[in-house]
Structure 1
């Protein structure tokens, strides 16, 4: 697919108005305070696997509403003292998968905490975390579950789980709680941006081709799912546009990026119709952290830079975690 969005020069300057409602910060302060009323209860059960280079733990912790959320913790074998950690969030409808797919960061000498995404895990990688909360009528998928009210919206639960995942990782005695980075691709990238705006003391944030940014433009620019779910909902629920986009404004990566306090490493693919380049740059250009950089993949679609971007991360993330 050839380039379909703004030119690269236009993208580098693209900085649309933020959409955060006046009570954005209060909404999230209350949401996280409510989650904090439940004991984190992070449990790390050793997993017996034929690995000699890593130790793997099956993790359970209390997320939004005290609901149990699963994850993996992968440590370099024989770790004796606290080491920096990388917390990873998963792409749309993927789950935590199997432990052998998460060896990169432990091989680099870091603790690697992988959060399962509630209700997902049937597309690409298996998940193990149910979402016990129902919703009003919604389009198939996750983008419109609870979209009538920000308190009910699916990603309110997911973003809260993601903050609690950082807390769970930090609670392990072999993790250096002062040196934590968050990473993710697509949906995982969008979640990492949200966490960057909600957790003030991260060392680094690395969102790849991030989803969940600049909803107003994404829903009218691309025909691809998952953003297309929003348009399909509004096609049936005629007249609900203002209500829907007000809900989404509480979850827009742009608004979290403007509250970020850590360095950020982004990537974008200029032929990406799943997460259009202008939506990625909308968050990037609002990034408030002390440092930001963008890797551009000019002829790639939503796969982004793949292993090339992993190589960039393996140089960039350790510089911030070990510094």
Structure 2
């Protein structure tokens, strides 16, 4: 695939045309206040996975609207003291999967929490969290569910779940709340970036090829799903573009990035037509922290860096969180 977006030198200076709603902060403060009116009710149930190097807990906590959300908490088996925590969000269509499937971060000495995305988990990995909120007419997928009103939009619920996931993971005695990072790939990267804009005391954020960034450009640049779901919706519902764009402005990763307070490690791929590099750079360039960097994969599509990026993160995160303290029993 040939390069299709801006040249790299222009990407490094690119700024989004996305307009931030004047009540952006008030909208999210109210959303989180309403959610926190429900008890977090984080429950951790030990799971026998057959693995001997880690211990895994099946987690349930109250997300948006008090709805139950699932997750896995995995820690090194010999852990006796609070560990630095990595909270991970899942890509579009996937679910938390099986309990033994998430070993990287616990193997590196961290506590690791992975959140199950509500209503998803039937595309490429199984999920266990329903989304009990209905919506009006929508294109198949999640991008257009409730998209005509920010109050009803699917990603209001998912991003709020992400904030509560951090709170739930931090409530466990084997996690160190002061050393918390968020990460994810694609949709997971977009949610991590949103959470980084809403949780002011994170220690690090590592969004990989993040989705949900720079909606004005993404909508007109790529024909790939999931962004194309929005185009197909507007193709059917003529005359609603302004209304939909207003809703999306409350969920644009560019605006969350502008509120980031933690060191950040981004990644992008120059042949990525799913999350075009200009949309990723739009968020990266808006991110104000001095300690930020972006890994660029010249000849990759949406797979991005994959395990190569994980290797970069394995070098980068311990410097921001401190290595896990594991006492051998």
The equivalent of 1:86 in structure 2 is: 86
Give a deviation string over 1:102-132, Cα, whole Å, max 9, x none: 0000000000000000000011111000000
- Alignment of 1:189 with 2:183, yes or no, is no
Bigger RCO of structures 1 and 2 (CA < 8 A, at least 6 apart)? 2
The equivalent of 1:246 in structure 2 is: 246
CA positional deviation for 1:180: 0.3
CA positional deviation for 1:321: 0.4
Q: How does the TM-score come out when normalised to structure 1?
A: 0.99
In structure 2, distance between residues paired with 1:175 and 1:284: 28
In structure 1, distance between residues paired with 2:180 and 2:15: 28
Q: Trace 1:91-110 onto structure 2 (pairs within 5 A).
A: 91-110=91-110
Number of residue equivalences: 323
Give a deviation string over 1:120-155, Cα, whole Å, max 9, x none: 001111100000000010111000000010000000
In structure 2, distance between residues paired with 1:301 and 1:100: 28
Q: RMSD over aligned Cα, in angstroms? A: 0.8
Q: Trace 1:8-27 onto structure 2 (pairs within 5 A).
A: 8-27=8-27
What secondary structure, in the 3-state scheme, does the structure 1 residue paired with 2:12 have? helix
The equivalent of 2:165 in structure 1 is: 165
- Alignment of 1:4 with 2:4, yes or no, is yes
What secondary structure, in the 3-state scheme, does the structure 2 residue paired with 1:308 have? helix
> Structure 1: which 4+ aligned runs deviate by more than 3 Å?
none
Give a deviation string over 1:173-193, Cα, whole Å, max 9, x none: 111111100000000000000
Give a deviation string over 1:33-73, Cα, whole Å, max 9, x none: 00000000000000012111000000000000000000000
The equivalent of 1:178 in structure 2 is: 178
Unaligned runs of 5+ in 2: 324-329
The equivalent of 1:116 in structure 2 is: 116
In structure 2, distance between residues paired with 1:288 and 1:122: 36
Q: Trace 1:240-319 onto structure 2 (pairs within 5 A).
A: 240-319=240-319
In structure 1, distance between residues paired with 2:158 and 2:150: 12
